[in-house]
Amino acid sequence: MKILNIIEAAYRGTIEEQDDTILWLTNIMQSGGGDFTVLLRGNAINHCVTAQDCSGLSFGDWQQMQPPRLADDTAALIAKGVEVCYVVEDAAERGLQPGDMVPGLKAVSRNAIAGLCDAHDQVWHW
Amino acid sequence: MSETKTLTFAVMDPPYETARSTTLLRLLDIAVRRGHNVNVFAYEGAVYLPFALQKPHPNPAHGRNAIEEGHLLPKDLIAAMMAAAENAGTKFDWVNCGMCVDERGADQAIAGVRRGSPADLLKMAQESDNTLVIGTR
């Protein structure tokens, strides 16, 4: 069964979780035998931008030693065989070019999203 | 009655924050009333929906005590739907994400709630007619 995970909610609890929970969920379920595709849209496209860095956070004497590394997590999904797509128009609206993002992403136009959904057995919109 | 389906719901929102958790509970109730099998995977804050230590409180703005107020507790609604499904001979399986439970200290759930993992969500989805995700916005 092919499942399309559409991730639209961006940076939802990422500091506390030390990752994006849906990228994480996809990674775990892909390892468990699932067959997933990921579509990043809206602000969530920023998850795959390589220049982001949220390290150095501290509260009093406490320091966050393992910040979320969302671009690395996205690249890890691709390395695991998950096709990770992003909506071209959403990226352009945010001034993002392909060179700003991790390699291996698949660009998808808005008018191709319906076809992408149709190519999967279930569509989960997060 | 229409053909029995098996439906999986994945939900993320905690109780008392958004209408999405209420919508989930209403959808679950409709599914149970229509004789469908129901799976729920509670992820992140949603693990507090069946939290056993939820307590009713009075509402001074309404001038009512806790009993008069009939305070809605999500755990009671879930227990009621579990009972309804059992009476109907259908399945109502609620799985709380274990890691989400641990990081929130939400390990006291009502009877019938199972601790699980993303593997349970995948299995539920694979064995269902369809899956609805109600994510956080």
Distance between alpha carbon A109 and the CA centroid of its chain, in Å? Answer: 17
**Interface touch B137/A9, C-beta < 8 Å:** yes
Per CB distance under 8 Å, which residues of B are interface residues toward A?
Answer: 10, 12, 43-44, 117-119, 121-122, 125-126, 130-131, 133, 135-137
Instruction: Give the CATH H-level superfamily of domain A5-52+67-125.
Output: DsrEFH-like (3.40.1260.10)
Count CB pairs under 8 A between chains A and B.
Answer: 37
Interface of A with B in 33-92 (CB under 8 A): 33-34
Give dist(CA A56, CA A36) in Å, integer.
33
Summarize the confidence of residues B51-68 as an average pLDDT. Answer: 93
pTM of the full structure: 0.90
Instruction: Tell me which chain B residues have a C-beta less than 8 angstroms from the C-beta of A126.
Output: 12, 133, 135
User: pLDDT digits over B75-107, tens only?
Assistant: 999 999 999 999 999 999 999 999 999 999 999
The pLDDT score that the predictor gives to residue B1 is: 52
B6-134 fold:
Hypothetical Protein Ychn; Chain: A, (3.40.1260)
Which of B40, B26, B50, B34 shows the shortest CA–CA distance to B128?
Answer: B40
Mark yes or no for CB contact B122/A29 under 8 Å.
Answer: yes
Is some CB atom of chain B closer than 8 A to the CB atom of A2?
Answer: no
The domain spans of chain A are: 5-52+67-125
Q: Are A45 and A94 in contact (CB under 8 A)?
A: yes
**Closest-CA residue in chain A for B123?**
A34
| A21 touches B at CB < 8 Å | yes
Q: Where are the domains of chain B?
A: 6-134
CA–CA min distance A100, chain B (Å): 25
At residue A99, the pLDDT reads 96
DSSP 8-state symbol, B105: T
| Reported confidence tier of residue B28, pLDDT bands at 50, 70, 90 | very high
Q: Tell me, what's the pLDDT at B137?
A: 85
- Give the position of tokens 């929970």: A21
Tell me the average pLDDT of chain B.
96
User: pLDDT of chain A along its 126 residues, tens only?
Assistant: 999 999 999 999 999 999 999 999 999 999 999 999 999 999 999 999 999 999 999 989 999 999 999 999 999 999 999 999 999 999 999 999 999 999 999 999 999 999 999 999 999 999
| Beta-carbon contacts of residue A61 (< 8 Å; ≥ 6 apart) | none
